[in-house]
Structure 1
Amino acid sequence: MDTNSSPSTAVARAGDSTAAPARNRRIAVIGAGIAGLAATKVLTAVGHEVVTFDVEPDVGGVWCPTRHYPGLTTQNTRMTYEFSDHPAPSSWPDYPDAAQWHSYLRGYADRFDLGASLRLGTGVTLAKPTADGWDLRLDNGDQVEAAHLVVANGVFSRPLIPEWPGADAYAEAGGVVKAPSQGLTLADARDRHVVVVGYGKSACDTAMALSAIADSVTLVPRRLFWKAAKNLLGKHFEDVAITRLGEALFGNPKVFGPVFGVLSRATIKQQGLAPLDLIPPGRFEEILSSSASLATDGFFDAVRAGRITVRRDRSIAELRGGADRTGRPEAVLDDGTVLPAGLIVAATGFEQDVPFLDNSSSLRAPDGAFELFRNVLPHQTPNLTFAGYNTSLVSSLSAEAGAIWIAAHLAGALTLPPTAQRQAQVRADLAARAAQTRGKHASGTVVLPRSLGNIDKLLGDLHAVLPRRVRMKQWSRRSFSTDFRETFGAAVRELRSAG
């Protein structure tokens, strides 16, 4: 087999496996977002009975309508965010809005007949390992047994809202605190002074959207970081970041320092950051260290026009409210500035947690990072894998590759290093990520800047590889989801036929 010219795989002949081959086992998946849907589809296709739980009433994870917020669009273009075998409508804009992307994921579930596997509006409160697999307790009181558990609850599933002093008095005065994903609406901001905490995509998206209706909008970022322009120096962001050349550049910042110097100066000029005093303190290459945030359309223009005020390098010290002062809710910053704040949008990130897993601490390093080989497989807990814990610039593709890897693992078709060697590799990877991101690596789940490199490793374990012609194209242009269609499809077909 010439793997440089063919998308074929050798997963069924890989030999020494870490899992006993099995077919037609009941697999439980927790989460029906992008990763959960991919896992459900792949595992069903290779012959397993799959039941997928999600506490939300519909599919989509962060794209479920209950979690939408004003101004939400995809950060990827649809061409790099879609699944490899389910194209988004070409008539859609390059950056679809939240409703469109939810309909895309709903269409994925419908096209591949996943409905029979989905138990939506049903949460898992406890998952306990047994001699034969897992015992799941549901929030409706039911009990479900499964031979294998896939955790796909998402690394952006649980908003992390600071516990500010004075919150009770603030609420009594009518103040409201919400994360963007907690049902935030435009109506929440009407006739209110709004304080948005954070500087990520959701912070800037909501600040822009709410500025059209709020009395005032103030953004309070503890630390500024670089915002990528969609187009810079005649190149689209994805034609740099989502290429093999781009991964080599961002993966070796010291070698390519002059390149990043040019990019930072061009970004400062194009976005007009100097007059706004919004030049970030870090190096430009950090834009792909722990996250990649595109500049929200019109955001810097709104700051220039005074519709949005940015209090950089600040944080909220306490909340106030009540008749003993002005009677209105307020936020006090760490420099003593007092802001009227009828609504506080806490765009302060997420907590990566698995509260339903019994003894989940055994899965983590002392610093809280998940110790997972390939961001999928724990070292000691049998019959357990993770899906979507490889955050990248191509999340849907990473989810698909991870799902196929899980299917191969369950089929006994992977040849993996011994446990001790895997542990050493994971420790080294986590240390490198922590150093690169100042510890902001989403509990070890971030694989940036090597989004494609992570997929290469997953495919390599399956004895699969993208055709040479495809890999060569990906050096000079963005990697489209369709690049992976043949290789992913061949891997699934081979796993299915081997069973």
Structure 2
Amino acid sequence: MTDTLTPVDDVVSDSSSPRLRVAIIGAGVSGVVAARTLTAVGAEVTVFEQAPDVGGVWSASRAYPGIATQDDRHSYTYSGRRMPPTAAEHPAGADVRRYLADHLHEGVPASQVRLSTRVLRADRLPDGTWRIDSEGPDGQRSEDFDWLVAANGVFSRPHVPDWAGRTEFEAAGGRVLAPGRLGDGAALEVARTVVVGWGKTACDVAAHAATRSASTAVIARTLTWKYPKRLGLAGLTFHHLVLTRAGERLIGTRYRSSTGRLLLRRVPERLPRVLLGRVIARAVDRTSNLSALGLLPDTEIRTSNSLVTDGFFEGVADGRIRVHRERSVARLGADEQGPFVELSDGTRLPSDVVVAATGYEQGVDFLAPAVLERATTPDGALLLHERVLAVDVPNLAFIGWAHTFRSPLTSEIAAAWLAGVVTGAVRLPSASRMRRAAAPFPVATERAPERRTTALPPVNLRDLDRVLASLGVALPRSVRRRQLLHPMDPADYAEALRTALARMPSLQRARPEAADGRARRSSAG
């Protein structure tokens, strides 16, 4: 790739320039906060959402029975807005949709949010603007913007494997569905259901199917640990492991702080992790009765970060759910007894419905081929500075593309950092330095079609510290100390983020027509 423009080389920021126009793809957790934050610093934002509602992965069009957050309602929030007390302890999809819609519409005019609108193509023109072609209720449109923010996320679209024999299976009356196509779950009624996968979604669907289906089987290629909400260790909860600084260190997050070196200078770093990990693994085993169920994973507990689904292990215990571990689907088919799923060990499971809870693909196919080629490495990985900024494509950002339990807050902090970039409040290193330091983010492209999931590690509390520092703010020391053993509270970050945004120069100003010699074009298709 050529080393030409840095991502801020052609940002218009002088007082005679028109108002900065930003296109945001996606109206989920990340798109909502990106839109609000960039609007707050004076950008003119347009949000494109292909679903008919705000919510992204929580959209009613992608719902499945039992869909709920892994975080509780106190941690699955933005910093300055609590989830209402009417929401469930682990908010359901409808709770999250209402929360996101309220947050968006309080800060962004409804006219700038285009629902049921798909971005067909995003291309960068010779003058540095982004040409966005979209299709919605009013037909096709072509418009120009200064920045493009991809907030459609790592859960852009479900991945359904191309299993051999699917045509035969469906001709015999079988159905293959992604979880988001289940809706209220009517398709599972009195059906022989096979769920493929072992993630939270797979277990949610299986637990629900066990209450409605004639039979429920789960096909799990690899068993990983699932944390119960309470571990039975002096009140220790799931959130103490994934939402505290001490917990992050325990499950494998690497810290290079002086405190960490002091604590571990006489002991190899891995030893306390292994020992404490075994203690927690035994506690999880006892709580969920994994050994008795034959579901004890072979992996280290610190490599997992999934929460157990209520009722799942109970369904396995009473025989309503049967788990086929270390198996995969060899093919689908049909015989004289009807449709079936054949496993890798030759077992045949009669099945009316196969639910493919087999992960997601990251959608970047809206990028023009030349843009995608420049944005990715030869093996098909995005290079993102601070997990946000495309290193080799000016004015292209990705919000919410890193796995995390704190997705509303981490997306909010990423959006604030991006606002700092577009306003000039954040100084960037050279493109070559960013390229050397950037984490590769594998995505499915024509050059690497087999890639479907991100390889980036979860964003951790120390990452958030570093990003806040680049904005010139920090959490109080007392808050950081409290976060050692107590789960973080997004409200802890509200004041720091307010301060950071208040210090940024505003982009808000009158937008004269083509003041910089570039007409903003819009045409009906």
Task: Tell me whether 1:389 sits opposite 2:391 in the alignment.
Answer: no
- Conserved? CA contact 1:166–1:319, under 8 Å: yes
Structure 1 residue 200 displacement after superposition: 0.3
Task: Tell me whether 1:265 sits opposite 2:276 in the alignment.
Answer: no
Structure 1 residue 418 displacement after superposition: 2.1
Task: Return the letter of the residue paired with 2:484.
Answer: W
Task: Tell me whether 1:458 sits opposite 2:467 in the alignment.
Answer: yes
Give the match for residue 239 of structure 2: 238
CA–CA distance in 2 between the matches of 1:403 and 1:447?
Answer: 19
- Conserved? CA contact 1:30–1:150, under 8 Å: yes
Give the match for residue 417 of structure 1: 429
Which has more helix, going by share of residues?
1
Give the match for residue 286 of structure 1: 303
Give the match for residue 258 of structure 2: none
Unaligned runs of 5+ in 1: 1-15, 432-438
Structure 1 residue 426 displacement after superposition: 1.8
Task: Tell me whether 1:108 sits opposite 2:107 in the alignment.
Answer: no
CA–CA distance in 1 between the matches of 2:354 and 2:119?
Answer: 30
CA–CA distance in 2 between the matches of 1:74 and 1:477?
Answer: 20
CA–CA distance in 1 between the matches of 2:424 and 2:106?
Answer: 29
SS of residue in 2 equivalent to 1:416: coil
1:326 to 336, 351, 362: 336
Task: Tell me whether 1:481 sits opposite 2:481 in the alignment.
Answer: no
Task: Return the letter of the residue paired with 1:58.
Answer: D
Residues 9-408 of structure 1: pairs in structure 2 closer than 5 A = 20=11, 22=13, 24-130=19-125, 131-139=127-135, 140-232=139-231, 233=233, 234-249=235-250, 250-252=252-254, 254-255=270-271, 256-287=273-304, 292-321=305-334, 325-359=335-369, 360-408=372-420
CA–CA distance in 2 between the matches of 1:263 and 1:430?
Answer: 31
SS of residue in 2 equivalent to 1:329: strand
CA RMSD of aligned residues (A): 2.1
Task: Return the letter of the residue paired with 1:420.
Answer: S
Structure 1 residue 165 displacement after superposition: 0.4
Structure 1 residue 353 displacement after superposition: 2.6
Structure 1 residue 105 displacement after superposition: 1.2
The one-character-per-residue Cα deviations of 1:411-463 (angstroms, maximum 9, x if unpaired) are 12212222222222125x779xxxxxxx999334x332x42222222212212
- Conserved? CA contact 1:84–1:484, under 8 Å: yes
- Assess, with a 3 A threshold, how the Cα gap between structure 1 residues 188 and 299 changes in structure 2: closer, same or farther: same
Unaligned runs of 5+ in 2: 1-6, 255-268, 443-449, 509-525
- Assess, with a 3 A threshold, how the Cα gap between structure 1 residues 497 and 51 changes in structure 2: closer, same or farther: closer
Structure 1 residue 341 displacement after superposition: 1.0
CA–CA distance in 1 between the matches of 2:421 and 2:238?
Answer: 35
CA–CA distance in 2 between the matches of 1:147 and 1:20?
Answer: 7
Aligned length: 467
- Assess, with a 3 A threshold, how the Cα gap between structure 1 residues 441 and 81 changes in structure 2: closer, same or farther: farther
Give the match for residue 4 of structure 2: none
Give the match for residue 3 of structure 1: none
Give the match for residue 517 of structure 2: none
- Assess, with a 3 A threshold, how the Cα gap between structure 1 residues 469 and 108 changes in structure 2: closer, same or farther: same
- Conserved? CA contact 1:19–1:411, under 8 Å: no
CA–CA distance in 1 between the matches of 2:465 and 2:380?
Answer: 26
Task: Return the letter of the residue paired with 2:497.
Answer: F
CA–CA distance in 2 between the matches of 1:21 and 1:387?
Answer: 21
Q: TM-score of the superposition, structure 1-length normalised?
A: 0.89
Task: Return the letter of the residue paired with 1:400.
Answer: E
SS of residue in 1 equivalent to 2:195: strand
The one-character-per-residue Cα deviations of 1:339-376 (angstroms, maximum 9, x if unpaired) are 01110000000011300001313323344332101111
SS of residue in 2 equivalent to 1:443: coil
CA–CA distance in 2 between the matches of 1:21 and 1:483?
Answer: 33
Structure 1 residue 92 displacement after superposition: 2.9
Task: Return the letter of the residue paired with 1:426.
Answer: A
CA–CA distance in 2 between the matches of 1:440 and 1:125?
Answer: 22
Structure 1 residue 235 displacement after superposition: 0.9
The one-character-per-residue Cα deviations of 1:7-26 (angstroms, maximum 9, x if unpaired) are xxxxxxxxx97664527211
Task: Return the letter of the residue paired with 1:281.
Answer: D
Task: Return the letter of the residue paired with 1:407.
Answer: A
CA–CA distance in 1 between the matches of 2:298 and 2:377?
Answer: 30
The sequence identity of aligned pairs, in percent, is: 35
CA–CA distance in 2 between the matches of 1:442 and 1:470?
Answer: 33
Structure 1 residue 473 displacement after superposition: 1.3
Task: Return the letter of the residue paired with 1:218.
Answer: A
Task: Return the letter of the residue paired with 2:320.
Answer: R
Task: Return the letter of the residue paired with 2:105.
Answer: D
- Conserved? CA contact 1:222–1:314, under 8 Å: yes
CA–CA distance in 2 between the matches of 1:476 and 1:153?
Answer: 33
Give the match for residue 434 of structure 1: none
SS of residue in 2 equivalent to 1:29: strand
- Conserved? CA contact 2:35–2:108, under 8 Å: no
Structure 1 residue 275 displacement after superposition: 1.5
- Assess, with a 3 A threshold, how the Cα gap between structure 1 residues 440 and 248 changes in structure 2: closer, same or farther: farther
- Conserved? CA contact 2:472–2:500, under 8 Å: no
Give the match for residue 10 of structure 1: none
- Conserved? CA contact 2:70–2:405, under 8 Å: no
SS of residue in 1 equivalent to 2:159: coil
SS of residue in 2 equivalent to 1:332: strand
CA–CA distance in 1 between the matches of 2:329 and 2:217?
Answer: 12
Structure 1 residue 497 displacement after superposition: 5.1
Structure 1 residue 106 displacement after superposition: 1.5
The one-character-per-residue Cα deviations of 1:99-128 (angstroms, maximum 9, x if unpaired) are 111111122123324423200100001001
